[in-house]
Amino acid sequence: MSLPSPVSTAVVDGIARITIDNPPVNALSQAVREGLLKAISQVNEDVSVRAAVLTCAGRTFVSGADIKEFGRPPQPPFLPEVIAAVEGARIPIVAALHGTALGGGLELALACHGRVAAASTRLGLPEVSLGILPGAGGTVRLPRLVPVERAVDMITGGKPVNADTALEIGLVDVIAEEDPAREAEILASALATRGKPEPLIKRQVPRRPDAGFWEKTEADLRRKARGQQSPIEALAAIREGLELPPNEALARERERFLRLQGSFEAAALRHVFFAERNTAASIRSLDAQPVDLAHVGVVGGGTMGAGIATALLLGASSVTLIERDISATEAARKRISETLAASAQRGAIAPSAIEPMLAHLTTTTDYAALGTCSLIIEAVFEDLAVKAEVFNRLEEVVPPSTVLATNTSYLDVDEIAAGIRHPERVVGLHFFSPAHVMKLLEIVRGKASGPVALTTGLALAKRLKKIPVVAGVCDGFIGNRIMSAYRRDCEFMLEEGALPQGIDAAMRQFGFAMGIFEVQDLSGLDIAWAMRKRRAATRPPEERYSRISDRLCEVGRLGRKTGAGFYDYSSGKPVPSALVEQVILEESAARGFERRSFTPDEIMARILKVMRAEGGAILAEGIAESAADIDVVMITGYGFPRHKGGPMFSI
């Protein structure tokens, strides 16, 4: 017995309402495409129908392709055929949009002869984020409807726009005050009085940018894309859509789409897409309720503590922050206020939201103020004794039901938990700096971590819109352990003949935003130095060890915060340092190395080999739950290029 079609049609007073009902997001599955073709044929043949509205049941308009079809051979009818049928219909068809209209969903709406959107609708063509480009006419139709510059931004950047912006640029005709489908019927009825609608594809392009526009835009894109090809291909498709006859441009777009669909880049980005959605599987299966996150405590108001507090305020939690004295609490509040102001400046929040958020922030020196918090996050100096003292003080003022989290980057969560009476409530929550921006949250599962503590970590990640990855206890967990391993090998390469600027350039060429030595300078060389000093007593004497970083720290070169690290920063930008090069040459000579040159490919081959080896060890020890989790950590927390799929990915 065949399943009912996810597309239905009802006609009232000459207006057909075509409804897609394919929960949860009305994806354009094969059944939906087939149903749409039949519906268009039906309304074309019914002479009583003078106009139609295309709408969707549930919480959203079409949010794109069916992810179950990703990586599989497409089945007919294909989306371009469906869109051509909609655009060439005998009657005007108006799309009634709500929720999101993304990818093929927006291409479908572009094929309609009018668009009405609910005020909360978001519209976009995010295909480049999956290593492809719009393949059903988006690069040809959108620039015929909105200014070319906006079309380029939407297609090559992949970010959606809201309904107000869509109305401003001409992407939608009306923002509905109430029911979008009802207002779409009104527009459709008005369009019907004008006769057979003209397809958007035949609309004249009002302005074609000159060659200089395309050259500058491509240069900017190449700089931002860092090796990803789909944005560059998308730009070329947009240009062809404006300069070639429409049918030829559509054919060229489809050829690019199909070619990219089979590329390594697309496979890598599909891998990351699914990997990010499948993290923390072990916690999702737990039958335990998280604690209430309406009021969260933070101990420590330095860079990381203030960043965590800011993230919590942005996530609509009230925050009580503890510092050692009044001066430190005032500094923490100022830091948080400045961070929120910077968020408003870049458009992440409205300026009017700052004061209400700050009204939900309490800064104090009194630990007793944390008594009503169900979750407390410790973010003090990376020292086991200091953190143990904090946890002991917390036990004195909070009930056993309060979840206690440590934001340690390297320390043993089990040792921290061992000193308190209820270790099952302790969990590691490793945020990444800046904590209010970075998407990764490592949830560190200690031996004693109970289900409530773990599900609370997962709930917090969801509340703060972060990607949770579960890690076991070891030095550095997943990300810092891998970074420590390849940082060590990069320092070995310095001893063997490379220079910091050469290694950093190779990493940027590969697709990293910054090289390892630039990153170390940014985060501060003293953090890893403290970890190395802590491990010195147990380091095997036969283990290879480079003293280059130690020597820089010993003379006060701790990175950007001191104006000097692996680079000099007197100009504000990293400049190679003669002193650092001298230290490298001295260490190289002391080790007996005959220095040699390294090509960028050799450098990256070494780095990737170390990453994969350490990742394999982490998997074998059960520190990470999957290889895909390691890829997610390295991409979202450490700048590994997303379009390369992560260090563990291969096809």
Q: How far apart are CA 185 and CA 53, in angstroms?
A: 6
Residue 14, Cβ neighbours under 10 Å: how many? Answer: 16
Interhelix angle 326-345/303-314, nearest 10 degrees:
50
* DSSP letters for 158-190: ---EEHHHHHHHTS-SEEESS-HHHHHHHHHHH
Beta strand pairing call for 122-124 and 100-102: parallel
Nearest to 520 by CA among 442, 580, 595: 580
The sign of the dihedral angle between the CA atoms of 390, 393, 398, 402 is positive
- Strand extents, DSSP E, 571-647: 575-576
Q: Which helix (H) or strand (E) holds 52?
A: strand 51-56
Catalytic residue among 87, 107, 183, 378: 107
Here the tokens at position 600 are 């960028």
Catalytic residue among 87, 127, 276, 614: 127
Q: How far apart are CA 341 and CA 346, in angstroms?
A: 9
Q: Which helix (H) or strand (E) holds 442?
A: strand 440-444
Beta strand pairing call for 318-322 and 295-299: parallel
Q: How far apart are CA 565 and CA 528, in angstroms?
A: 13
Residue 19, Cβ neighbours under 10 Å: how many? Answer: 19
CA atoms within 13 A on the CB side of 499: 13
Q: SS3 for 69?
A: helix
Q: Are 402 and 373 in contact (CB under 8 A)?
A: yes
Q: Where do the H-state alpha helices sit in 401-499?
A: 413-418, 451-463, 479-496
Q: Is 594 a catalytic residue?
A: no
In which region does residue 280 sit, left (phi positive, over 0), alpha (psi from -120 to 50) or beta (all else)? left
Q: Is 625 a catalytic residue?
A: no
For the chain, the straight-line distance linking the first and the last C-alpha, in angstroms and rounded, comes to: 38
Q: Are 141 and 201 in contact (CB under 8 A)?
A: yes
- Give how far Cα 470 sits from Cα of 144, 298, 383, Å: 47, 21, 23
Query: Which of the residues are catalytic?
Result: 107, 127
